[in-house]
Amino acid sequence: MADRPFTFVETSGKNFGYVFTVEEAYKFIGQLETQTTTKFTCYTAVKDFGAIDCTKRSHKVCWENKKDVQGPRIAYTGTPFMYLGEKMYDCQHGKDRNVVAKQRRKEAVENGDIVTKKPRVVQSVLKVNCTARIKLREILMFPEFKIIKDTPKRRKLSSLRVRAAVKTGNFHPERRIYIEFPSSSDHQNHLVGEAGGKCQPVDKRITNRIHELVAEGIKDVNQVRHQVEFFVKNVLFRGKELPKTTNRRFYPTTKDIRTHVYNATVKNRTSSQESGVPDQLASSTDTPDVSMVDHELPIMESSVSVVELPISNVTFETIQANAVGLSAGVDPQVEGQKCRDLLEQMKQLTLWCRMKKC
């Protein structure tokens, strides 16, 4: 595998090290996926991984873990720690873990136990038993109970102190997320790098951006594509090296964009119907409602004597002429009412002119 695009706090091997927060670990996974044009999916994880409370259940106090089937070794440093849990990621082309469920469903459909409107297309090509895997381990270190000399008696005494401190809540641990990344040779039976870009799913952040654009009324595929490219360049990878344009994850195809625009439109329409609010996403080019064109709008009756003029003669000068004498009124309330009546009449004349397409 090429040089990592990130740096561990401390490394214990070429592809093994730790960081202090689970957010940093997720960030590293995203950077690795972008660099190698691969995609990993989580298939198992303990509850609340990254923020597990060690006081809710008992955990074994450890001093080291030897290299075994569970992963690389965490060397002895004299500091006791608790192994809280782990989270595992498979390559998207890895082992198909739903073979049995798919077979049962297929048999149920053939026997008529399940009625489907249309047959499902199973993408069996996606799973090719790739062995690449990412493993995260959450470790809680207790540096205040570190021992200088390694003896069984000192280990046991320090372990008892750790458990007593955890029970009373009087401790200050250091949380670490150990990350084990795969090497390039672990990817098998599928393309990696630029050639594998066409097999990438569209990034979730890109999908969310498309939904935002549709909510703003932008549905044209070319306009959405332009906005997505701007988003990738100036938001996701601002000041960084851009991914290859062949990477479908950040540069979706026309079909991908059209599909997500449609899904966003249906989602917005459904939410509008459920909330009782009419859909406001209609395009400005939609056919206007002309049901009122053939109806005459009555002129508002008022105490103001306004000369009725043909629509074609309504100009700034004529309106100004009709307004002459308003300032001569003595009563401010009467003068204000005259102004309001005149403005309402102007509004109706303008609307009438638009409907008649003057």
199 in helix, strand or coil?
A: helix
Evaluate if pTM is beyond 0.85.
no
Sequence-ordered list of residues with C-beta below 8 angstroms from that of 80, at least 6 positions apart, any chain:
61, 62, 63, 141, 142, 145, 146, 155, 158, 159, 162
Query: Side-chain half-sphere of 122: how many Cα atoms within 13 Å?
Result: 10
Give the pLDDT of residue 118. Answer: 57
* Adjacent-strand bridge partners of 88: 44, 135
**DSSP-derived secondary structure for 88-107:** EEEETTS--TTHHHHHHHHH
Give the pLDDT of residue 310. Answer: 44
The mean pLDDT values, 10 residues at a time, for the chain of 358 residues are 59 79 91 87 90 88 71 83 92 83 80 65 64 92 93 94 91 91 83 76 92 92 93 90 88 92 88 62 45 41 42 48 51 68 72 58
Give the pLDDT of residue 5. Answer: 55
